Amino acid sequence: MTTYPEIKPEARQRLDAFAAQTGTTPPEHVLIDEHGEGGTFTDEFLNYCRDTGLSLDWVWFGKGNQTVAREGRG
């Protein structure tokens, strides 16, 4: 059975703040657990990070810059 575990409130606050700052819509689900093993990031969340430049380290741990360098991306 697929479940969508909640993320830490601090990470949700950072994600929502980033979305408000960039005028984007954050993904509804960040984690997915299909096998009862604790979960992993959803494709929706990873695509959002890629498309917006959102740093996984910043949203998840609160460390580093909000965005990653997009140099050399097409």
Is residue 31 in some structural domain?
A: yes
Is residue 69 in some structural domain?
A: no
How does pLDDT run across 21-57, given as a tens digit for each residue? 999 999 999 999 998 888 899 999 999 999 999 999 9
Is residue 74 in some structural domain?
A: no
Q: Which residues contact 50 (CB under 8 A, 6 or more apart)?
A: none
Full residue range of the structural domain in which residue 26 is found: 9-61
Residue 69 confidence class, pLDDT cut points 50, 70, 90: low
Count of domains forming the chain: 1
Is residue 3 in some structural domain?
A: no
Is residue 67 in some structural domain?
A: no
pTM: 0.86
Per-residue model confidence (pLDDT) at position 38: 81
- Write b or e for each residue in 25-34: b if 16 or more Cβ atoms lie within 10 A of its Cβ, otherwise e: ebbebbbbee
Is residue 66 in some structural domain?
A: no
